[in-house]
Structure 1
Amino acid sequence: MTPKLITNSNGQTFLYELQQAFSTCEEFYFSVAFINYSGLQLLLDNLKELRDRGVQGKIMTSTYLNFTEPKALKKIKAFNNIDLRVFETDKVRGFHSKVYIFKNKDTYTVMIGSSNITQSALKSNVEWNVSTVSTRQNPFLEKAIKEYKELWAQCTVADDLFLQKYEKFIEALRAQVAVAREPSFSSYGNAEMQRIVPNKMQQQAIDSLERLRAHGEMRALVISATGTGKTYMSAFDVQKVQPKTMLFIVHREEILTKAKETFIRLLGHSNQMGMFTGSSKDYQGKNYIFTTIQTIKDHYDEFTTNYFDYIIIDEAHHATASTYTRVLGYFEPKFLLGMTATPERCDRGDIFGLFDNNIALEVRLNEALEEDLVLPFHYFGITDVDGVDLSDVSIDDVAEVAKRLKVNERVDFIIDKMNFYSYDGEKCKCLGYCVTKDHAQYMADEFNKRGIVSACLTGDDKQAKRQEMIRRLEDDDDLLQVIFTVDIFNEGVDIPSVNLVLMLRPTNSPIIFMQQLGRGLRKYEGQSFLTVLDFIGNHSKTFLIAIALSGKRFYDKEGLKVAVKRGFPDLPGATHIQMDKISQQQIIRQLDMENFRSMKYLKEEYLEFKKEYVRATKRDIPYYLMDYVKFESAPNPVKFIDNKKSYLAFLAAVEKTEGLKRLAKTEPFCKLLPQLSAFLPIKRPHEFIILRYLVTHERVSWDEAENELLKIIDSVTKETLFHAFERLNQTYDDHAQIDRDLKLCFYDRKHHQLNRTQIYGEICANEQQKSYILDVLNYGLYRYSRQFDTKNYGVPFLKLYEHYTTRDLGPLINFQKKLSAFRGSTIPNGNDYYLFVDLNKGADLKESLKYKDKFINPKVFQWETPHPTRQETKQGQRLIHNQEYGINLYLFVRKFKVIDNTTEPYVYLGKGDVTSYYGDKPITTEITLHHEVPMSLYQELTTKV
């Protein structure tokens, strides 16, 4: 068998390959230099399964560099099917092998390479490992086993005495902090090498802010998860802009000193930085002033309106409150920057509008994990104990759910799983999320009875008690190990040293799930991962866990099912998600049965979101699409539009209020809103940018349109801008489209400008109607920026691996004919051919249309031409010899044509060339793609669930 190269890249991990080998082996033998608990925890379920199957194994590791953790060795020792030995290294001889040998029924699988048993080596580090399957008589295998046996004989048996001695040695070593901490190469050398530089997130924000300022914008908002370095980012931007004066405003005085220290560390000039708070008035003669809103709101008129060139608002979700609006209404800075981790906690008003809808950067959990800005988590989905039955109860009936969960057998089961999976560190610092206050108190009482010191905290407890309990939990010498709560730790509370989270309640809101998970993800010195144990009951909404864990707002049913089956391979870094087989099957079954597009489901999803929205904002209804942007794991509101043609119409149908119903039927506004909403999600920004400009202007010139576009993309292609002008002029519309749609612009070609029509102007003059039009335009542009970044994709305007419909294609290729001419699965446009392929053919298709289209591998795709095509025809020649004829082939595929009675979009796989072919009517071709399909996408498209 051909050896297989395994790297932690392109959707592939060494962990997954190990787990596949575990599933079929009859014996196993490891020789691994380093084992720490972060890596071993990822393999515990596999080791338990092997033990249950009676599979024996041997593991040898080493004391090399003192990296192997005693906690990991003790855990391995607990498995009675594993023999454990340790190679004791000295100054003369090291130990650096990474060998994994699996004995199968008739063969051996051998993996040799660079990966130790650590979370990073198994999942995220740059690693090269080679896997090969060998017969028992293979000379390579015989030598590998001989070497293994010789090394094994030289190792020390890891008995209790050895483990005690090794643990004491490591503890003593850790106590010598200066010895234990080795300098990193990046900090070695001269001052130039030691200077602080922006991380990737911070650099993206700085670049985006610079682009916005260069094109006339004076305000912007940065949304970034807690612990991702927003203060440093703002300091880097100030360093770049070098304003003469700056004002930094925070909501709480305790974080102000740290902000000032950050600026001094990066910019120096400490004598130019002053504090202006209730307790400190060191600001006279200072250029850069750090203040609290409580202080500046009473003293802002001590400064002239244009005194500050640059103003920064930390925790900007408060900036719409009256205390801020007075201050911000007074000052006229050259630039205003807002920063927040929680836009959903906006006090009132429109936080995006306050910053002119300029979201310079948004870093949510997935991006933070990818950039290693927060702690990775290890999630284990565990089927709940048999004694708990939630199958016939609504999870919204919290009293009944809590009653059924208050079972002693479940408490013992939870503690057993805590002991099995354990946590990172020596002391357990755990948060347990419960259904009700009674449930939380019950859990604390039962844990205390079993000797695990625990406390219950709810919204009834005073702030002083909360702070005291948090202090005790974080104290390594305090006996408190677990705090059980309901929802007071969902947001706004930092407990950095938490190392274990227990999800003890059914998940009925992806938003709450992610808020609770996020409490343990702030980086903490000495901690390398967070353990999350989720006890999954047999209720009807378990599939919501998959939605929450996917980390995607815009998901599809098939993708979720594959993600559940394969452990969410798209999640970045060392984060790990693992569900037991029963939970997997239950979630996949529910995903199959649930219709994500039915009005029943959409209404439930909306009402669940509304509940969180009202709780966070204290407002009655999420009136706008942009309200969904504020919440991580919020529903995709475009689904609501797909059902009722506009979000307003959906609201009117669900809320049934007379005001919404009346507005949704107001002519001609009720015609324009669905017309614009139909383009969501947009695939190029040009038309929406122009229409947004025309909301407040009567006309737009070429130069003005280009300037607006350059605020969100790097460059503008003239022919695409021309095409957008003509498209808005309805030049390419057929009679049916012209009759159906409102005309919003006239193209004055002589003066190269678009003029707003009277009807568009009248709608935009109505403040209420304008707010909804702007909402659609702003949401479209926001979502575009999130999905497509700032790149100019040229012509065709296509991004690899994005989703497109055939209807999307016309504008993206600057098609200059009536779009009604777009038909078929092979669309020619000059020398460009666009191929649209369904991987799974419908059972009702005629036999002649069941083309044998399939992936050969991630680089090669088998495609059959339309049925009548013969090799000797002009069309046949242009296809099979596309390179010689200068023909560009663009490939789009989708797994299924229809899911939940809704037509699915295609995934764009890029360009390719025909490299082999045979047959006629149809011709069978093999197209070699210019870009190999990422493994996670390849698996999603090819895996059958």
Structure 2
Amino acid sequence: MYKENNLIVNSEQTNLLKELTSSLETCNRFYFSVAFVNFSGLQLLLDALKEAKQRGVEGKIITSTYLNFTEPKALDRIREFENIDLKIFVTERNIGFHTKAYIFEYDDYFKVMIGSSNITQSALKSNVEWNVEIISKNDESFIQQVISEFHGLWDRSTVVDDFFIQDYKQFIKNIDRVTSSQTMIYEKAEYIVPNSMQHKAMENLERLRNLGEKKALVIAATGTGKTYMSAFDVKKLKPKKLLFVVHREEILAKAKETYEKLLPNSNLTFGMLTGTRKDFDADYIFATNKTISRYYHRFNSNEFDYIIYDEAHHVTAETYQHVIDYFKPDFMLGMTATPERGDSQSIFGIFDFNVALEVRLHDALEDDIVVPFHYFGITDIDEIDLSDVPVDDLDEITKRLKVNERVDFVIEKMKFYGHDGKKRKCLGFCASKEHARYMAAEFNNRGIPSSYLSGEDDVPVREARIAELEDDLNELQVIFTVNIFNEGVDIPSVNTVLMLRPTNSPIVFIQQLGRGLRKYQDKSFLTVLDFIGNHTKTFLIAIALNGNRYYDKESLKVAISTGFAHLPGATHIQMDKISQERILAQIDQEKFTSMKYLKEEYFEFKKMNSGRVPDLLMDYYKYDGAPDPVRFIDKEKSYLNFVAKVEKDQQLQQLLAYESFEKVLKWLSSMLPLKRIYDFIILNYLLEHPSVTIDEVEQEILKWVEMVDEDSVFHAMEFLNQKFFDDTQKKRVPKLANLHGERLTRSHLFEQLLANPNYKRYLYDVIEYGLFRYEREFGEDYLGVPHFKLYEQYRMMDAALLSNFRKTHSSFRGSGLLVNGKDYFLYIDLHKEADIKESINYNDKIIDRIHFQWETPNKTSQGTDQGKNIIFNQDRGINLHLFVRKFKEIEKNSIEPYIYIGKGNTISFKGEKPIEVQLELENTLPQQLYTELTEKV
């Protein structure tokens, strides 16, 4: 039981919250003394405190009035636990209170944690904190001193009774009233600075403009500050005339207000162009798309230096097109949360494929652009049985969810977990209109003022309800709805989200979760209560929360078992044991690569696509949480083949009947997701130009990445010329380009394909998707040669292309070891297949996060050149690149990729044929990846 003293820090591996909850689950008694307690931290401990109460464990908690940081709401909540005695140390002017100590009593020893952490979400999960854990026997002098000191503080502290609570609440209220006006200083322009997203977007906009580009697109989740970002860029660029176009009139005034706030004393005039206002002469004009489409001829075509289109996913509409075609600004910026594609034209094409930045939900959490969320996965009541109901049978689901006991259960959990802020401002997502109507009526019957909204309610009704919810003085606490708040609705003050229906789409789950993540004054977190039933698709919750584009059974199971520890900041995900076991069992049973599963995933996405056949890969790009279409490609060699098969679409089948087109489509698709962007940048240029020179290629590449070496540019041109193809590959892949010196021209076949609009549409789509997915996953960093990014997935065959191998790529083969000059590529399976009989049992393993054990191919001896290169790699200038995978196959007939963990250097070796080598990694393995590769679930 006794162990060495332990330093507890917040990391991917662990945090103080985890240590506290595990100790509360096992101790006999506990004593806390902390300077302050916030509800944001207390909420994370509620379940552990409840379990301790059920075990009969008693505790004492001391906190203080120091700096008035302790929240009355947190004190109220602690007092509800009959097993906890609560006192407060009332500080004076000359006496502060700084203790942060957590003491746990066991049968014959004590565990003490003393350090820097108070009870707040950040202190328990994400702040840089040091807490020392000491375990000592009951009779040791250190423990006696700690307990004596605690009792001394206890005797000097005040009991938190009704009188104290009321007095303290009034005191805090008075402070809030006095200090609220002082916070206005942060609204002054000189105090507002760009957040990380805004700063990066501005840097990339500047880079694109320096390359001569005149258009760009920014994709960022709702609440990340796109309008402020554009205003910062305008402030920096100082255009004389600006046009800001908005799709919805209700947010126009807010945009204008933001610009006026950031550009005071600028001698500029700000005006609006709407149905009721016509400020034609203003320097900076904020217009609705409908009004500007009627009056654009009132301006010269070069009137505006800078034009911004907010909600830019609408620009493919005809009303926008006339305006875009007419004006010739120095720069045009589009901003959107969801880059939807119109039927006629790609939004990316309208902005010349220049994406200055893309920020999705998990990026926003990592950069602290949105508030963290506390997600509680709660097993639904036994009376709700959805195990035999298809997830799209909404009538039957509604019928089974309309249970009074469930309403009581939901309210009970809402009261148990509470919410941030004084007034509950809650959105409840239901299965149907009838379900929403029922929930609102039942909540009202139980004294919780509620309303419901559906697609049948017009905009004024919705806006009125939202205003009531946001108003602290209005009694409305909950709005129940179906899907109308999934996107495009901004209710910043929402502090609670209820998931009351089976999750059948990760996209919808993320959209609904995102409704409460916008930052708002005095809001520090969002509470999410998800009532998890026994329906067959419960595991989709894990896919949505995991946040990774690619996933497999193993990574999902590890994420669940570790409480999604890889999620950044103070975000917290907690599922009860029954929900965890239910989801893990479903993941074990599900076959993610089977045609049955892929078809279900496809048709669910089709519903999200308004029922239209999503025949383009870019259809998937617009939604956070969308399926990975590359898995459809893996099944049928091209996405179009997959769609034609599952839709039984004769037109697509006819299109694919042209063998050369199908071969080209399959070849381009086989490179997805891209690991090197240069080749597709060249093809993208050739879609619109008959030829391209090496200098033009380099210029095009610099629009996507910060720099590129000339050898890699020429290697890409040679590759497209099929210089490294063997005869079999040349028969299988039609040639798209011919190299003449330093100029690449379209092949005759490529010309023919592009002359057919249908063929061009689908070739264009594969290339476009490849480029933008690369940009999302790799960013603009130059990766050098070989072109590998740490912790990305690779296949063995990728090494030839990415290391500029100058021979036939199909000859670049080996049994776990490939060599190109001074670059050695080591491919390692951590768990060998039991049914494969090897002539030798390789003992390859991760020793710890910085050391690795690898055994060379079994014919390698220390005396050979290859053996010496491996064991003396640093002296000989040899780069040992390590690629690992946990299993070769997780699902039958589906080969797993490798993960690049960087370079390693030999520090010791022994043995012959094979040589056992101890390697020190140049990059410490991230905790999440280390856990995934080593954890057994």
Fold shared, TM-score > 0.5 on shorter chain: yes
Q: Counterpart of 2:280?
A: 283
* Structure 1 position 62, deviation (Å): 1.2
- Say whether residues 1:826 and 2:835 are aligned partners: no
Q: Counterpart of 1:942?
A: 934
Q: Counterpart of 1:779?
A: 769
Give the aligned length.
932
* Structure 1 position 647, deviation (Å): 0.9
Give 2:558's aligned amino acid. V
Structure 1, 814-823 or 564-573: larger mean CA deviation? 814-823
- Say whether residues 1:125 and 2:127 are aligned partners: yes
Q: 8 Å contact 2:823–2:879 — kept in the other structure? A: yes
Whole-Å Cα distance in 2 between the matches of residues 25 and 882 of structure 1? 52
- Say whether residues 1:448 and 2:444 are aligned partners: yes
* Structure 1 position 922, deviation (Å): 3.6
Q: Counterpart of 2:848?
A: 857
Change (3 A) 1:278 1:941: same
Whole-Å Cα distance in 1 between the matches of residues 123 and 416 of structure 2? 22
Paired residue for 1:767, among 747, 757, 781? 757
Identity %: 58
- Say whether residues 1:390 and 2:417 are aligned partners: no
What does residue range 810-849 of structure 1 map to in structure 2 within 5 Å? 810-819=800-809, 820-846=811-837, 848-849=839-840
* Structure 1 position 542, deviation (Å): 0.1
Q: Counterpart of 1:637?
A: 629
Whole-Å Cα distance in 2 between the matches of residues 116 and 650 of structure 1? 54
Q: Counterpart of 1:741?
A: 733
Change (3 A) 1:865 1:687: same
Paired residue for 1:148, among 121, 136, 150? 150
Q: Counterpart of 2:526?
A: 530
Give 1:733's aligned amino acid. F
Q: 8 Å contact 2:800–2:812 — kept in the other structure? A: no
Change (3 A) 1:463 1:724: closer
**Secondary structure at the counterpart of residue 100 of structure 1:** strand
Residue segments in structure 2 that go unaligned for 5+ positions in a row: none
Give 1:433's aligned amino acid. F
- Say whether residues 1:799 and 2:789 are aligned partners: yes
- Say whether residues 1:112 and 2:145 are aligned partners: no
Q: 8 Å contact 1:321–1:347 — kept in the other structure? A: no
* Structure 1 position 308, deviation (Å): 2.1
Structure 1, 557-566 or 489-498: larger mean CA deviation? 489-498
Q: Counterpart of 1:160?
A: 162
- Say whether residues 1:670 and 2:662 are aligned partners: yes
Whole-Å Cα distance in 1 between the matches of residues 344 and 896 of structure 2? 38
Whole-Å Cα distance in 1 between the matches of residues 284 and 183 of structure 2? 36
Whole-Å Cα distance in 2 between the matches of residues 779 and 595 of structure 1? 26
Q: Counterpart of 2:897?
A: 905
What does residue range 632-711 of structure 1 map to in structure 2 within 5 Å? 632-711=624-703
Cα deviations across residues 143-164 of structure 1 (Å, max 9, x unaligned)?
4333333323322233333333
Structure 1, 456-465 or 806-815: larger mean CA deviation? 456-465
* Structure 1 position 633, deviation (Å): 0.9
* Structure 1 position 888, deviation (Å): 2.0
Whole-Å Cα distance in 2 between the matches of residues 471 and 265 of structure 1? 24
Whole-Å Cα distance in 1 between the matches of residues 549 and 649 of structure 2? 28
What does residue range 862-881 of structure 1 map to in structure 2 within 5 Å? 862-881=853-872
Whole-Å Cα distance in 2 between the matches of residues 483 and 201 of structure 1? 31
Q: 8 Å contact 1:12–1:936 — kept in the other structure? A: no
* Structure 1 position 402, deviation (Å): 1.0
**Secondary structure at the counterpart of residue 112 of structure 2:** strand
Structure 1, 593-602 or 7-16: larger mean CA deviation? 7-16
Q: 8 Å contact 1:743–1:757 — kept in the other structure? A: yes
* Structure 1 position 362, deviation (Å): 1.3
* Structure 1 position 569, deviation (Å): 1.6
Whole-Å Cα distance in 2 between the matches of residues 179 and 520 of structure 1? 26
Change (3 A) 1:743 1:133: farther
Cα deviations across residues 406-431 of structure 1 (Å, max 9, x unaligned)?
11111111111111101112222222
Change (3 A) 1:39 1:356: same
Whole-Å Cα distance in 2 between the matches of residues 256 and 448 of structure 1? 35
Structure 1, 730-739 or 19-28: larger mean CA deviation? 19-28
Give 2:221's aligned amino acid. A
Paired residue for 1:271, among 256, 268, 273? 268
Whole-Å Cα distance in 2 between the matches of residues 157 and 347 of structure 1? 67
Q: Counterpart of 1:788?
A: 778
**Secondary structure at the counterpart of residue 659 of structure 2:** coil
Paired residue for 1:628, among 620, 625, 634? 620
What does residue range 131-530 of structure 1 map to in structure 2 within 5 Å? 131-136=133-138, 139-178=141-180, 194=190, 196-268=192-264, 269-284=266-281, 286-344=282-340, 349-530=345-526
- Say whether residues 1:891 and 2:882 are aligned partners: yes
Q: Counterpart of 1:96?
A: 98
Whole-Å Cα distance in 2 between the matches of residues 51 and 663 of structure 1? 67
Structure 1, 174-183 or 683-692: larger mean CA deviation? 174-183
Q: Counterpart of 2:538?
A: 542
Give 1:282's aligned amino acid. D
Structure 1, 438-447 or 23-32: larger mean CA deviation? 23-32
Whole-Å Cα distance in 2 between the matches of residues 698 and 713 of structure 1? 24
Q: Counterpart of 2:83?
A: 81
Change (3 A) 1:811 1:575: same
- Say whether residues 1:49 and 2:51 are aligned partners: yes
Q: 8 Å contact 2:220–2:357 — kept in the other structure? A: yes
Paired residue for 1:612, among 603, 608, 612? 608
* Structure 1 position 385, deviation (Å): 0.3
Q: 8 Å contact 2:398–2:432 — kept in the other structure? A: yes
Whole-Å Cα distance in 1 between the matches of residues 728 and 133 of structure 2? 60
Whole-Å Cα distance in 2 between the matches of residues 208 and 621 of structure 1? 35
Give 1:830's aligned amino acid. G
Q: Counterpart of 1:32?
A: 34
What does residue range 537-616 of structure 1 map to in structure 2 within 5 Å? 537-614=533-610
Change (3 A) 1:924 1:157: farther
Q: 8 Å contact 2:644–2:652 — kept in the other structure? A: yes
Residue segments in structure 1 that go unaligned for 5+ positions in a row: none
Change (3 A) 1:329 1:388: same
Whole-Å Cα distance in 1 between the matches of residues 795 and 109 of structure 2? 47
Q: 8 Å contact 1:231–1:262 — kept in the other structure? A: yes
* Structure 1 position 2, deviation (Å): 4.5
Cα deviations across residues 82-105 of structure 1 (Å, max 9, x unaligned)?
222222211121111222233345
Q: 8 Å contact 2:341–2:347 — kept in the other structure? A: no
Q: 8 Å contact 1:864–1:923 — kept in the other structure? A: yes
**Secondary structure at the counterpart of residue 847 of structure 2:** strand
Change (3 A) 1:349 1:885: closer
Q: 8 Å contact 2:682–2:697 — kept in the other structure? A: yes
Cα deviations across residues 678-716 of structure 1 (Å, max 9, x unaligned)?
000011111111111112222211100000000011111
Change (3 A) 1:405 1:178: closer
Cα deviations across residues 313-337 of structure 1 (Å, max 9, x unaligned)?
1121221111111111222223221
Q: 8 Å contact 1:173–1:180 — kept in the other structure? A: no
* Structure 1 position 137, deviation (Å): 5.4
**Secondary structure at the counterpart of residue 208 of structure 1:** helix
Whole-Å Cα distance in 1 between the matches of residues 181 and 663 of structure 2? 72
Whole-Å Cα distance in 2 between the matches of residues 746 and 779 of structure 1? 24
**Secondary structure at the counterpart of residue 643 of structure 1:** helix
Change (3 A) 1:924 1:632: same
Q: 8 Å contact 2:12–2:565 — kept in the other structure? A: no
How big is the alpha-carbon RMSD for the aligned residues of Structure 1 and Structure 2?
Answer: 2.3
TM-score normalised by length of structure 2: 0.95
Give 2:710's aligned amino acid. K
Structure 1, 768-777 or 354-363: larger mean CA deviation? 354-363
Cα deviations across residues 49-76 of structure 1 (Å, max 9, x unaligned)?
2222233322221111111111112212
Whole-Å Cα distance in 1 between the matches of residues 120 and 733 of structure 2? 59
Whole-Å Cα distance in 2 between the matches of residues 79 and 849 of structure 1? 61
Structure 1, 303-312 or 36-45: larger mean CA deviation? 303-312
Q: 8 Å contact 1:696–1:764 — kept in the other structure? A: no
TM-score normalised by length of structure 1: 0.95
